[in-house]
């Protein structure tokens, strides 16, 4: 696992049935592009998060393919419809095989 990777997710705690909510996600990651060289002129190997997925109760909200042009500490903002109470699952996939996952519950009235 790359060092110091930490996700932050902003989801409202509650919503009404069928409401459209805004979700923001941020994760600490260098997103080493593979284009840079070290002090000795040797290329630094690419090491990025290459995929981000947000699901709600098993149904997909967004599935993003990331390339090295995504900035350090990748940020996404998007909307989701919440039909019922449940849990969002956010998953980031690292080039090195690591998977970072975090969940957020939402109460639907």
Partner 1 sequence: MTLTRRDVFVLGSAAFAGTALAGMPAFASATDDLIAEFTGGAEAGSGALVLTAPEIAENGNTVPIEVDAPGAVAVAIFADGNPVPAVATFNFGPLNPSRSASTRIRLAKSQNVIAVAKMEDGSFVRADAAVKVTIGGCGG
Partner 2 sequence: MKKYLVATAAIFAASLAYAGEDSTLAIEGEVFVTEVDAPEHMENVSTLYSGWTFRADETQALQLDDFDNPAFLFLDQAIDQWDTVEGSEGKSCSTCHEDVADFAGLKSTLPRVEDGELVTMTNLVNECVTDRMGAEPWKYSGAKMSAMTALIAHQSRGMTMNVAIEGDAAPFWERGKELYYTRVGQLDMACSNCHEDNYGNMIRADHLSQGQINGFPLYRLKNAKINTTHGRFKGCMSNIRATPFKEGSEEFKALELYIASRGQGLSVETPAVRN
What residues line the site for partner 1 (CB under 8 A)? 20, 33, 35, 54-56, 59-72, 74-83
Give least dist CB 10 to partner 2, A: 5
Give least dist CB 78 to partner 2, A: 14
Nearer to partner 2, 27 or 48 (CB): 27
Which residues of the shown chain bind partner 2 in the complex (CB under 8 A)?
A: 4, 6, 8, 10, 24, 26-28, 30, 71-73, 75
Instruction: Round to whole Å and give the CA distance between 66 and 48.
Output: 8
If contact means CB under 5 to 8 A according to the sort of partner, which of partner 1, partner 2, none does residue 107 touch?
none
Instruction: Round to whole Å and give the CA distance between 30 and 54.
Output: 21
Structure tokens at 91: 């998953």
Length of the chain, in residues: 109
86: left (phi over 0), alpha (psi -120 to 50) or beta: left
């Amino acid at each position: 696992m790359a060092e110091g990777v930490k996700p932050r997710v902003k989801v409202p705690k509650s919503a009404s049935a069928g409401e459209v909510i805004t979700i923001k996600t941020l994760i600490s990651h260098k997103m080493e592009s593979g284009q840079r060289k070290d002090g000795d002129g040797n290329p630094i190997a690419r090491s990025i998060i290459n995929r981000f997925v947000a699901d709600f109760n098993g149904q997909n909200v967004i599935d993003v393919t990331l390339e090295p042009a995504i900035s350090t500490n990748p940020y996404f903002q998007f909307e989701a419809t919440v039909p019922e109470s449940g849990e969002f699952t956010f998953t980031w996939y690292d080039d090195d095989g690591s998977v970072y996952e975090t969940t957020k519950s939402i109460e639907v009235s």
